[in-house]
Amino acid sequence: LLFLWSITVSIFGIGGILGSSGSRYLTVKFGKKKCLLCNNVLMIVAATIMGCSKISQSFEMILIGRFMCGLSAGLCVPLHHQYVGEISPKKLRGFANSTSSFFWSLGKAVGQIAGQRELLGSQSRWPMLMASCGVPALIQLVTLPFFPESPPYLLMQKEDQEGCKKAIRQLWGEGQHQAEIDDIMKEKATMKNTKILSVLELVKEPAFRWQLYMTVVLTATIQLCGINAV
């Protein structure tokens, strides 16, 4: 039982590693909006499987659902940052990117509160708690089709200049947006001359050593804050 409980908890992280590892390939091939939509479907399926586990009397369904939730979360974290940052006006880009951390922490807090025995953590209502992760995914699945694809993706990957202009006008309103388009073109030209490093090459690269140290320390500190123990 202890082994099964440990696997149930940790399999979320295994799914997260796999999801985040495949995010770059998927975003380049299919675009950020399509990936987010498919990711929402994955989360809803995972929530449904976990929500039906008690009726089916199957702990294996919780294992599968937790793994799929981790896979979805691993895909979502880099996708969310990229999409929100790319569709935001330049002056609001930093603020828009910082909101993800706020809502990530808020989601954990709401989950901890909802998991109390007085709310959804009781013996009869815990399947509802496990299935609740599908609610925000459903909201995004319904609302995201009204948003355009990321303008940088349309211009840099698809080379669709008209589509990029249309997306920018839809997001930022009518007006002169040539400066933003020129910035995207400059970024595209820069990326052509920049080598994409693998994880091993990144670790070995002296120029990124201190940034890497900082990221590792921050991530380790988050893991030591007690959220996993709770």
Q: What pLDDT score does 43 carry?
A: 93
What DSSP designation does 146 have?
A: G
Residue 84's domain spans which residues? Answer: 1-147
Question: Same domain, yes or no, for 139 and 199?
Answer: no
pLDDT band at 139 (very low <50, low <70, confident <90, very high): very high
Question: Same domain, yes or no, for 36 and 119?
Answer: yes
* Residue predicted with more confidence, 15 or 81: 15
Q: Average of pLDDT values for 83-96?
A: 82
pTM (predicted TM-score): 0.79
**Helix-strand-coil split of the chain, %, nearest 5:** 80, 0, 20
- The two tokens of residue 40 are 């929402």
- Total domains present in the chain: 2
Where is 70: in which H helix or E strand? helix 59-87
Question: Same domain, yes or no, for 129 and 65?
Answer: yes
Encode pLDDT of 161-184 as tens digits: 788 888 888 887 777 767 777 777
Instruction: Show the beta-strand stretches assigned E in 3-129.
Output: none
Name which of 110-119, 172-181, 196-205 the model is least confident about: 172-181
For the chain, the average pLDDT equals: 84
pLDDT band at 141 (very low <50, low <70, confident <90, very high): very high
Give the orientation angle of helix 178-192 with respect to helix 161-172, to 10 degrees.
130
Question: Same domain, yes or no, for 104 and 200?
Answer: no
Question: Same domain, yes or no, for 141 and 201?
Answer: no
- 162-201 in b/e form (b: 16+ CB < 10 A) is ebbbebbeebbeeeebeebbeebeeeeeeeeeeeeeeeee
Q: Of the residues 147, 180, 211, which one is the last residue of a structural domain?
A: 147
- Which stretch, 58-62, 157-161, 177-181, 226-230, has highest mean pLDDT? 58-62
Where residue 93 sits, what CATH number does that domain have?
Answer: 1.20.1250.20
